[in-house]
Amino acid sequence: MSAQTKQFKVIGQRLQRPDGIDKVTGRARYGADIDAAGMLHGKILRSPHAHARILSIDTSAAEQLNGVMAVITRADFPTPHKGFEDVQDNCMAGDRVLYDGHAVAAVAATSKHIAKQAIKLIKVQYQVLPHVTDVEQAIQPDAPVVHSGLVSRRVPKGFSENVVRYSSFGHGDIETGFKAADAVLERTYKTEATHQGYIEPHACMASMGLDNRADMWVCTQGHFWIRNMCAGVMAMESASLRVTASEIGGGFGGKTTVFIEPVVLALAKKSGRAVKMVMTREEVLRATGPTVSTMMHVKVGMNKAGRITATYAKLFYQAGAYKQATVDFGAMPAFAPYALENVKTEGLDVITNRPRTASYRAPGAPPACFAAESAIDELCQELGLDPMEVRLINAAKGGTKSSYGPTFEDHGLIQCLEAAKAHPHWQAPLEINQGRGLAAGFWFNFGGETCVSVFLNNDGSVTVTEGNPDIGGSRASISMMVAEELGIPYEQVRTTVTDTGSLGPNEPTHGSRVTFAVGLAAIKSARAIIDEIRARLARMWEVDVTDVVWQDGAAHYTGNKAGTFEPLDLRQVADIANNLGGPIAGHHEANAEGAGVSFGVHIADTEVDPETGFTSVKRYTVIQDAGKAIQPDYVEGQLQGGAVQGIGWALNEEYVYGEDGCLQNTGFLDYRIPVASDLPMIDTVIVEVPNPGHPFGVRGVGETPIVPPLAAIANAVSRACGKRQVDLPMSPPKVLASMQKA
C-alpha cells in the first residue's frame, strides 16, 4: 500500500507532546540543572585579542587561591587523535589565539565566585598580530593570514592564503545560456554572520575516575558526537566515556560540536572531581559557532517568456578561523528549485579571525538562496513578469537533473507553488509603502547513522530507546510511528533518549534527519517485534508463520484451521512472552538512505517607513512539502520557527566587529533576534507529496523553512521601498541610506 492511500489511525493527529508538562512545570532537566556531590565549578579565561601569539601564561597566583582545585592550559591536553587537531585548538588555544573569545586557560574551583576570581589571577603575555574579520578584506592578496599552508590545490590564484578551499557544481554551458537571454542581471550580495540564538547556553558536567573512565551530562544535539569528539580531543577510547544528553533549550545546529566539553573533562581529570561549566550569553556569542558571513557574485539570464537561460554564482563564505565545507552547501542548493540547462556555481572557503563557524539550520543555504532568489526577482521586475509564474515555468520536478548533480525523485515544489498561488495571501491588496516578496528554497535532508531499540514490556507497553536529543518533537513523532505500526494507542508507547552506553552510534539531531531516519529505524524495529511475535505464535500454535498476520494491533491466524486460535493482542502476547522464549525486542541499525528533499515557498509582506528605513513584517506565509506530517503541530512549529529565524537574519541580526577585531554585540540587547511583537502570526500550509524513501512518506522539515525567508523579506523590502536590497541585514540605517541614494 502506498503512503498516499494508507489510512492512518495515529499518524497525522495533533497528540499531546510527552515533554510538555515537564517543561512547563520545571521538572525537565536542562544542561545547567545537572549536579553531582562535591562538584566543582569551571570557568574559562578567553582571549581579548582577535589574533595574538601567546608568549607566556602564568597560572601560579590562580593555583594558590584557596578553593582552586585545578588550572589548565593547552599544555594539559594530550596530542589529539588524528582529525581532531582543529577541534582541540578551537577548544583551547595553542601558541596563538585566533579570535576574540578564544579559550586560553581554565580553572575548576569550589565555587563560581572563586572560579571567577581565579581567572582574573592568570597572567597571559600576548604579542598582538594583525587580524582580519571581513570576508572581502580577508581574500585580498595582502590580507593578514590566519593560517599559512592550508590552501587546497584547486583554489584559483590571486587571493590571500585565507582562501583555503574551492568547489564547483553545475552542468551545461552558461555562456551559451547568457547569450540566449533577453536580460542578464549581475549583482554582488553580502550577508553578515548570525548566531543560532538558542535560549539555553551550553552547559556540561563531567567526572572522571582514576582509571580514566568518565561520565558526562551535557546539553547537546548529539551526545554520540560529543563523545567521539571528546575522545578525539582527549585521546581516549570512546567506550571509556559515557555521555548523557539533557533536555535541550534549542540548538539549531550550533550544538552538534564541542566547545566547553573537552575542557570540562580535562578539568575533571586534573582535579579528580566532578566539574560543571555553564557558559554565559557573552561566551555563547563570542566563542561558540556562529554562521558564515558572505560575499556572493550572481549572474542570471532570463528570456522574455520568463525562462531562465543560465545561472552563475561565485560564493565567498567566511567560515571562521578553521577550514570548513559550508560554502559547498551554499553552492549546491543556490539554484536547486529550478530546472536549468546551464548552471554553474563556485564556492570559496575563507578563513578569518572569527570563531569557528558551526551549523545553523540548512547551513550555507540561506545566503545563497538570498542571492539567487533576489536576482530572479529583480529580473522579473525588469522584464515585467509575475514572479510566481516565472517560478512555475522554471520549477524543478521529479526527474529534473538538479543544479548540483543528482536527478530529483518526486517532490512537492510545483504543489507548493500552486498552493502559494491559490493562497489568499498572494492576491491580498497591499497598502502604501508595502511590498510583497516571494522566494522558493530547498534543502537536501539527510538520513545517516542510526540505531534504535524497541522493547515489549511485561505489561504490553512499549519502550522505544533512541539516541537523538529531542529538539523538535521527535519523541512524540517516533512514539506515534511505532504505535501506528504496532496498531496500539500512542499512550502505550514511551520513547526515551538514551545515553551513549546503551545504543550503537547515532549521528546528532541534524540534517532534518530524526523523524525520517530514527522514525524509519523505529518502524523497522517494531516490524522486527511483529515478526518475532508471529514466529513464536506459529511455534505455539504449530502452524506456518506465513499464516500468522499482525493486523489492527493483534496476531491473527489466517490459515485453514481458522477459528481454532483466538487473536492475541500485544498485551496478551506480553503476558505469555516469558513462556515463549523470553523477552521480545526489536532493533535496527543502518545508515538511513532515501531522505527525500524538501522544498518550501514563502510569501512575505513588509512595510518600510520612508523616513527611517524601519521595516515591519505585515504578513508572512510558509508553504512547504512535509511528505507526510506525523504530528502537524510540530511541523507547523518548524515552519514558523525557521521563518522567524530567517526574518531575524534578514532584518537585524548580525555580528558587529570593531576595528580591533573584537565582537561588539555580545548580548541579546544588541544582537537583535526578533521579539514576538516584531512578528505577525506566521501562517503555514503543509503540502504532502510522500517521500518514496519512507514507509509513511516522511520528509525532514526542520531546515528548509530558514532557506527562503532572507530572500522573501529582501524581495518584499526591495519592492516596498523601490530600492533593491543586496546587503543583509536590512537594518534601518542601511535601508534608509539606500533610499536616499539617487
Chain residues binding other proteins by CB under 8 A are 116, 282, 611-614, 616, 651-652, 656, 664-665, 669-670, 672, 674-675, 677-678, 731-733, 736-737
CB of 376 to other proteins, least distance (A): 28
For residue 280, the minimal CB distance to other proteins (Å) is 8
Report, in Å, the least distance between residue 682 CB and other proteins.
16
For the stretch 149-160, what's the b/e string if a residue is b when 16 or more beta carbons lie within 10 angstroms of its beta carbon? Answer: ebbeeebeeebb
Contact 492, 604 (CB under 8 A): no
Phi, psi torsion values for 619, nearest 5 degrees: -155, 145
14 vs 113 by CB, closer to other proteins:
113
- Rounded to a whole number of angstroms, the minimum distance from the CB of residue 740 to other proteins is 8
CB of 471 closer than 8 Å to CB of 250: yes
Q: How far is the CB of 671 from other proteins (least distance, A)?
A: 9
Q: Which is nearer to other proteins, 13 or 612 (CB)?
A: 612
**Grid coordinates representing 464?**
522505544
Give the phi and the psi of residue 313 in degrees, each rounded to 5: -140, 140
Report the nearest approach of other proteins to the CB of residue 705 (Å).
21
Residue 281 CB, shortest distance to other proteins, in Å, is 10
Write out the DSSP string of 583-640. Answer: -EEEEEEEEE--PPPEEEEEEEEEEE-TTT--EEEEEEEEEEE-SS-SSHHHHHHHHH
**Minimal distance in Å, beta carbon 612 to other proteins?**
5
φ, ψ dihedrals at 299, nearest 5°: -135, 125
Per DSSP, the residues of 260-280 read SHHHHHHHHHHHSS-EEEE--
Indicate the DSSP class of residue 339. Answer: -
Q: How far is the CB of 677 from other proteins (least distance, A)?
A: 4
**Of 73 and 738, which CB lies nearer to other proteins in the complex structure?**
738
To other proteins, the closest distance from the beta carbon of 721 in angstroms equals 15
What does the H/E/C string look like for 510-525?
Answer: CCCCHHHHHHHHHHHH
Taking the least distance from each CB to other proteins, the nearer of 422 and 656 is: 656
Q: Which is nearer to other proteins, 117 or 342 (CB)?
A: 117
Position 465: which residue type?
T
When the beta carbons of 674 and 697 are compared against other proteins, the nearer one is: 674
C-alpha cell at position 599: 522544498
**What are the strands of the beta sheet with 293-302, ordered from one edge?**
163-171, 343-350, 308-318, 293-302, 183-191
Cell of 134: 571581513
Residue number with CB closer to other proteins (454 or 736): 736
Q: Which is nearer to other proteins, 212 or 612 (CB)?
A: 612
Q: In this complex, which beta carbon is closest to other proteins, that of residue 553 or of residue 610?
A: 610
Task: List the grid coordinates of 246.
Answer: 539533557
Cell of 144: 593578514
The grid coordinates listed for 738 are 539606500
Bridge pairing between strands 68-72 and 308-318: unpaired
Least Å from the CB of residue 489 to other proteins = 41
Q: Is the Cβ of residue 585 or residue 739 nearer to other proteins in the bound state? A: 739
Residue 429: count other Cβ atoms within 10 Å of its Cβ: 5
Nearer to other proteins, 540 or 679 (CB): 679
The H or E element containing residue 128 is strand 123-128
Query: Are the beta carbons of 287 and 101 closer than 8 angstroms?
Result: yes
Q: Which residues contact 553 (CB under 8 A, 6 or more apart)?
A: 486, 487, 488, 569, 570
Residue 301 near residue 308, CB atoms below 8 Å: yes
CA 142/CA 137 separation, integer angstroms: 9
Q: Which CB, 113 or 179, lies closer to other proteins?
A: 113
Min separation Cβ 239 and other proteins, Å: 40
Give, rounded to a whole angstrom, the gap between the first and last alpha carbons of the chain. Answer: 62
